[in-house]
A and B are shown apart, each in its own frame.
Chain A
Amino acid sequence: MATSTMLSQLASGMLVSIEIFVLTLVFSLPLGLLVALGRMSKSKILSGIIKVYIAIMRGTPLMLQLIVVYFAPYYVFGIAISASFRFTAVIIAFSINYAAYFAEIFRAGIQSINVGQWEAAQILGYSKPQTFFKIILVQVIQRIIPPVTNETITLVKDTSLSFVLSVAEMFTIAKQIGAREASIMPLMAAGLFYFVFNYIVAFSMDHFEKKMSYFR
């Protein structure tokens, strides 16, 4: 088969991978912030629940979480699963998993800001939410860009895990082409796709970091 056919098939799989990547970021970043705030809550019950949530999400394989999210409606609640739920399940599983990791990064960032800034803002008449969004958060974002970039790059590669739910993302397609062609070339090509995509992600994050460094 022509290399161009293989590349175009991989590219169509890449679109699905990108879709998973973008949707996961869109949902997990805000969710991660909420989880971080819950983790730091003064309420012992809330922070306790969040701790358990983070422990489960970080302590079990993402592949298992994907299977659980997809099959739980049937095995736990007896609801028949529709085919379109495959993709939804992937997004849900990725989002709640990455939210746990992002939450800890956010928490580290928030707690790294000197308490003196909160006190100073209070004296200047800022309310707590105002202080958080106008003063603290911008500095937090600056500080957490490197670890967030790490997680983001891991996410690009983790999208390949959705093969367990047979979502036709790039790695699934690469394996299928490999089976047809009886060759390992498609897998190598898929690796190149991931590398290029990650290079773009790293480059954009680097650019973003420079833009955000206006305080220094």
Chain B
Amino acid sequence: MKKILAVILASVMTLSLCACSNAKTGDKKTFTVGFDAEFPPYGYMDEAGNYVGFDLDLAQEVCNRRGWELVKQPIDWDAKDMELSSGSIDCIWNGFTINGREDDYTFSVPYVDNSQVYVVKSGSDIKTEADLAGKIVGVQADSSALAALEDEEGKADVAATFADLVQFADYNTGFMNLESGAIDVLAMDIGVANYEIAGRNGGYEILADQLATEQYGIGFLKGNTELRDQVEATLLEMAADGTVNKIAEKYEDFGLVESLCLEGTKSDK
């Protein structure tokens, strides 16, 4: 018993030593990106257990060009403001909606045009936004879909007709509720909606009526224009030489290429 305990303790201590040495970085300037690891395709964990995604690939390329070391820090989305202002992350780069947050962060130029849509089960009798009256609608807590539904100048009047507006911590829980019939509609970003529907082999529909259109940018701590300018300059350079497009093509299934909106990345459709 004692021996077993000793072995466990020893291994635990070795583990924590490893953790400490990993945290130390060399002379290279580090660039810590905070992201929600449950937000594919912008940031998520791949099958090998690595954090990947469109935004993280862009961040990696920016760091490669600037000679910085990229630190990918998954965060709890509700704690993002505390993480940013306490300095434990340098920016939020994770399909981060600019609209409505302009005064709270220092943003880069928008790089993705994104819309908020309504997702329903296939065969649902909900066809238009007007049909949503009296239905139960789900949304991710602190998400831009929620912001749009709460915005007096946005869709607050539509939200007022809902039977109920339920908030979820993550999209997986949201879809479980939708699938089981606990809610009738999910309001979310179109990119994530496409990914989730494809991953679940269909069975869902996106309503033609959109909740809102909006743009994604990189969010820095308010006033941190120095870092913003550096990152933005490199991002524009990457857009101009086609690198951004190339990275977006990796995530073609999500319709990312169509939603790019930087100079040099716009598609000519």
A residues near B (Cβ < 8 Å) are 1, 5, 9, 12, 15, 18-19, 22-23, 26, 67, 71, 74-75, 80-87, 163-166, 168, 172-173, 175-184, 204, 207-208, 211
Contact = CB atoms under 8 A, between A and B. Distances in A.
B46 A164 contact: no
B76 A22 contact: no
Contacts of A182: 172, 175, 195-196, 199-200
B166 interface: no
A15 B15 contact: yes
Interface in B171-203: 171-172, 175-176, 195-196, 199-200
17 contacts: A5-B48, A12-B49, A18-B12, A19-B16, A67-B82, A81-B86, A83-B71, A83-B73, A83-B88, A84-B20, A84-B23, A166-B74, A175-B170, A175-B172, A176-B45, A179-B37, A180-B46
Contacts of A173: 45
A86 B32 CA distance: 14
Given A166-B75, A175-B172, 6 more contacts: A71-B82, A81-B88, A83-B88, A182-B172, A183-B172, A207-B1
B47 A5 contact: yes
B44 A180 contact: yes
B82 A180 contact: no
B19 interface: yes
Given A9-B49, A80-B87, A179-B44, A164 B12 contact: no
A163 to B, nearest CB: 6
B40 A179 contact: yes
A74 B86 contact: yes
A1 B172 contact: no
B38 A176 contact: yes
A211 to B, nearest CB: 8
A163 B87 contact: no
Nearest to A5: B47
Contacts of B46: 180
B76 A177 contact: no
A207 B5 CA distance: 14
Most chain A C-beta atoms within 10 Å of own C-beta, residue among B9, B76, B78, B86? B86
Interface string B38-81: 11100011111100000000000000000000010111101100
A12 B16 CA distance: 14
Given A22-B9, A166-B74, A83 B23 contact: yes
Interface string B1-36: 100000011001001100110010000000010000
Q: Is the interface of A mostly helix, strand, loop or mixed?
A: helix
A179 B171 contact: yes
B172 A80 contact: no
A208 B1 contact: yes
Interface of B: 1, 8-9, 12, 15-16, 19-20, 23, 32, 37-40, 44-49, 71, 73-76, 78-79, 82, 85-88, 170-172, 175-176, 195-196, 199-200
Closest 10 CB pairs of A and B: A182-B199, A179-B38, A84-B23, A74-B86, A80-B87, A176-B45, A81-B88, A178-B172, A176-B37, A1-B47
A164 B76 contact: yes
A112 B9 CA distance: 32
A214 B40 CA distance: 58
A180 B86 contact: no
Contacts of B16: 19, 23, 87
A75 B172 contact: no
A80 B32 CA distance: 14
Residue with the highest number of chain B CB atoms closer than 10 Å, among A82, A87, A166, A183:
A166
A11 to B, nearest CB: 11
Choose among B37, B85, B195 the residue with the greatest number of A CB atoms under 10 Å from its CB: B37
Contacts of B195: 182
Nearest to A181: B199
Given A83-B23, A179-B170, A164 B79 contact: yes
A75 B200 CA distance: 42
Nearest to A86: B88
Contacts of A164: 76, 78-79
B199 A74 contact: no
B11 to A, nearest CB: 9
B88 A177 contact: no
Interface centre among A1, A178, A204 (most CB of B within 10 A): A178
